[in-house]
Amino acid sequence: MTPLMWSPDVWWSLFCHFLAMSLMAIGGAITLVPDLHRRLVVDNHFLSDLDFTSSIALAQAAPGPNLLFVALIGWYSGGLGGSIASMLGIIIPSTTLALTVSRWVSARRSWLSVKAFQAGMVPVTLGLLLATGAHLAPPLHDQPRALLLSVIVVLIVWLTKTPLIWLVVAGGVLGGVGLV
């Protein structure tokens, strides 16, 4: 199916649909796939089943955020305008919420309830980091090493307050030279 290049009605529909779905994407935008398929392929016929599936497969195979499939679905549905409308719709609510909450917390950093919440989130974050390490561990024969690396990263983050981005960079460098 050829993208519907100049269709403001399709663009508006895509924008509104992704806007409504944005805050329901707990676990990432990929969790929206069943509803997106129903709405965009079955109900509105904005794109074919093959284009829908291809968009997700291509975005998952490409480097970068999983959110890229939203841009591809928008592209197949309404060309460049559809891609932009879809991405704006999915990004605006969650970004606005994140910025609002971070500013609110920053202004109230000394409140006991904010401190308690932040302290309570540390073990949750560290647990998710360990779970991610276990989930992404290589085949079973390498799993103990991957779990050990995950534990080391958790300890470094917990004890030194090192920003995660530096540990990601270090992991990339160590992996690039074949040490991990």
In percent, the amount of the chain with pLDDT more than 70 equals 84
Query: Alpha-carbon distance 27 to 30, whole Å?
Result: 8
pLDDT band at 116; cut points 50, 70, 90: very high
The predicted structure's pLDDT at residue 143 = 65
**Per-residue CA distances from 93 to 1, 15, 34, 90, 111 (Å):** 30, 11, 20, 7, 26
Least confident range from 14-28, 93-107, 111-125: namely: 14-28
12 has pLDDT over 90: yes
Mean pLDDT in residue range 49-61: 83
**Measured distance CA(131)–CA(49) in Å, rounded:** 34
Binned at pLDDT 50, 70 and 90, residue 1 comes out as very low
Structural contact between residues 70 and 29, judged by C-beta atoms closer than 8 angstroms = yes
Confidence category of residue 39, pLDDT binned at 50, 70, 90: confident
Counted residue by residue, the chain has a size of: 180
Residue pair 8/84 in contact (Cβ under 8 Å)? The answer is no
Report which of 42, 66, 69 is spatially closest to residue 53, judged by C-alpha positions: 69
